[in-house]
Amino acid sequence: MSVSELKERHAVATETVNNLRDRLRQRRLQLLDTDVARYSSAQGRTPVSFGATDLVCCRTLQGHTGKVYSLDWTPERNRIVSASQDGRLIVWNALTSQKTHAIKLPCAWVMTCAFSPNGQSVACGGLDSVCSIFSLSSTADKDGTVPVSRMLSGHRGYVSCCQYVPNEDAHLITSSGDQTCILWDVTTGLKTSVFGGEFQSGHTADVLSVSISGSNPNWFISGSCDSTARLWDTRAASRAVRTFHGHEGDVNTVKFFPDGYRFGTGSDDGTCRLYDIRTGHQLQVYQPHGDGENTPVTSIAFSVSGRLLFAGYASNNTCYVWDTLLGEVVLDLGLVQDSHKNRISCLGLSADGSALCTGSWDSNLKIWAFGGHRRVI
């Protein structure tokens, strides 16, 4: 078979795939008689209302000297790890707002960090294409540098996101600029499986984010620059379980809905979307109205009930709180007192949902808690 013949066949196949995809989209549109917001407003639901003091900044974590890029909470709810461009990981006690560890990284260009489920170690990754794991119990040497306890190297592009598999300290999933996600065995430092890449049907551009389902730890979602999100099963790495189309820009962030059957995405096209993993349908688009220019979504998080969606945007210090049911913005954290002074780059809820932490390019992290009677939404 000659090269030209192969090329021809490839072109034909691509065409077919595109046709099928288009038909699928058409079909989905036909089936889509309503979305969440329309349905619930028809049911007479009203949006959550926020008073001025319902969500207040109760702690400011100062100590980084560069942009904060990533943060993660421990499951036992009072500690936070943050990664910043000053080349440090800082572990905070969220209650006292003090640091407990400051880890100087060998490579300052860090993009992501994660707490292990038992809270004993932290992982981080960045432009060095390596996911490094630091044990918090190891003692620092004279210069105050904590030794790397494990290097997970094997990615051929920057490590954009990492997350521990819930309740498994030995397993970690990373996403990377080399278009793959990798499940690692932390104890051995070896790859358990690779999702996507050359010989498999995976993402066709940089993978920017992963989120592991809380209800079924075998499932995880990845979001990518090919403007799709994909659902994977860690037991079957060969191909994605499902691919979710819909976004018109890079999918910067994905996050599982608390029930584990839905997930949210945030994208460069300025929208957040809610997808159902069982039907593959897009349930809702969250698009701020007005002023044409779409500001990319940098990071999202759901409240424990899933009623609220917190989304950080790339412009100024905008951070909208969406009512997921009605698709309306109910609060802008950027306009609340004590808000950040620069882009909010990452956010996350504590495990019990009582507090939200936001990290910003103004080098601070802030913890927001519900000030009103309503404790947790």
> Residue 48, interface with other proteins (CB under 8 A)?
no
Report the distance separating Cα 80 and Cα 61, nearest Å.
10
Report the distance separating Cα 129 and Cα 153, nearest Å.
7
Shortest reach from residue 335's CB to other proteins, in Å: 13
Q: Collect all residues with Cβ–Cβ distance below 8 Å to 226 and sequence separation of at least 6.
A: 203, 204, 205
Shortest reach from residue 362's CB to other proteins, in Å: 13
Q: How far is CA 249 from CA 102, 205, 210, 237, in A?
A: 36, 12, 17, 25
Task: Determine which residue in the list 89, 225, 229, 301 makes contact with other proteins, applying CB under 8 A.
Answer: 225
Task: Determine which residue in the list 56, 241, 351, 377 makes contact with other proteins, applying CB under 8 A.
Answer: 56
Q: Which of residues 299-328 bind other proteins (CB under 8 A)?
A: none
Task: Determine which residue in the list 16, 26, 60, 187 makes contact with other proteins, applying CB under 8 A.
Answer: 60
Element (H or E) spanning 27, and its range?
helix 3-31
Select from 38-46, 104-112, 184-192, 271-279 the region that touches other proteins (CB under 8 A): 104-112
List the helix and strand counts (H, then E) for the chain. Answer: 2, 28
Shortest reach from residue 361's CB to other proteins, in Å: 9
Task: Determine which residue in the list 355, 357, 359, 360 makes contact with other proteins, applying CB under 8 A.
Answer: 355
Q: How many residues bind other proteins (CB under 8 A)?
A: 60
> Residue 61, interface with other proteins (CB under 8 A)?
yes
How many CB atoms neighbour CB 137 within 10 A? 9
Select from 151-159, 181-189, 233-241, 280-288 the region that touches other proteins (CB under 8 A): 151-159
DSSP label at residue 283: E
Task: Determine which residue in the list 50, 73, 92, 310 makes contact with other proteins, applying CB under 8 A.
Answer: 92
User: Which residues of the shown chain bind other proteins in the complex (CB under 8 A)?
Assistant: 51-53, 56-63, 67, 69, 77-78, 85, 92-93, 95-102, 107-109, 111, 127-130, 142-144, 155-158, 160, 177-178, 206, 208, 225, 250, 252, 268, 337-338, 354-355, 369-373, 375
